Structures are given as C-alpha cells and as structure tokens.
C-alpha cells in the first residue's frame, strides 16, 4: 500500500549498516545528517509514506479499507471494527481483516 502520511509524523532512527547504505546511495543528500552515536553512524529520518510493520501503517490500512467498505454499503461490526457485513442477493457477505490480510 502506498499511503501518504500527511497528518502523522513518524520519525525513524537508522543506525549502523542501514545509515551507511543510505549515505552510499545518495551521499550529497544524507552525509550531512549522519551523526556518530555510541560509535555507530546514525541517521534520523521522517517518513512521508507508511512503512510496513509500523503501527501507523496498520492504522492507515484499517482506515482506508473500512472507509471503502462503508462506501460500498457494508456495515462495520460494533464489537470488532475489523469485521464488515453486507447482504448481497439475500446472502450475507462478511469480510474480516487483520493488519493487511483479508478474508471474505
């Protein structure tokens, strides 16, 4: 999911090999921001896109999927907001999800 994070500020601390790799990738961009912390190169970055595995990425996925399902006239379960139901051709359609896995 490519999700912009306009409202949320998420900062990430990259140290050791990851910081070194970013400097090798774009030295003019990253080298000036690298600090040595406890003997390791360290780089602090602010995310513009949701990063898989972060709490905010899971929240943004939930928000996006639930908003879309509501637009399609599904009703979110009052007890579990990761369950949505809709009657289609006299049959109940249930969609459940956890993080980024869906089951229908």
Look at residue 54 in the predicted model and tell me its pLDDT. 83
Look at residue 8 in the predicted model and tell me its pLDDT. 67
pLDDT along the chain (104 residues), means of 10: 72 92 93 92 89 84 92 97 96 91 90
Two tokens, residue 22? 């970013």
Is residue 41 domain-shared with residue 72, that is, in the same domain? no
Q: For the chain, how many structural domains are there in total?
A: 2
CB-based contact 72:35 (threshold 8 Å): no
In a domain, 5, yes or no: no
In a domain, 70, yes or no: yes
Query: 20 lies in which domain range?
Result: 11-46
Two tokens, residue 68? 């879309």
CB-based contact 1:61 (threshold 8 Å): yes
Look at residue 1 in the predicted model and tell me its pLDDT. 56
In a domain, 83, yes or no: yes
Number of other residues whose CB lies within 10 A of the CB of residue 42: 17
Look at residue 97 in the predicted model and tell me its pLDDT. 92
Cβ-proximal residues to 42 (8 Å cutoff; 6+ apart), any chain: 13, 14, 15, 19, 34, 35, 36
């Amino acid at each position: 999911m490519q999700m912009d994070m306009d409202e949320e500020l998420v900062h990430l601390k990259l140290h050791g090999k990851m910081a070194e790799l970013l400097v090798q990738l774009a030295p003019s961009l990253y080298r000036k921001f690298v600090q040595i912390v406890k003997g390791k190169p360290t780089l602090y970055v602010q995310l513009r896109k949701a990063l898989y595995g972060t709490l905010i990425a899971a929240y943004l996925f939930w928000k996006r999927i639930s908003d879309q399902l509501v637009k399609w006239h599904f009703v979110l379960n009052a007890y579990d907001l990761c369950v949505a139901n809709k009657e289609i051709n006299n049959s109940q359609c249930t969609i459940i999800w956890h993080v980024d896995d869906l089951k229908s």
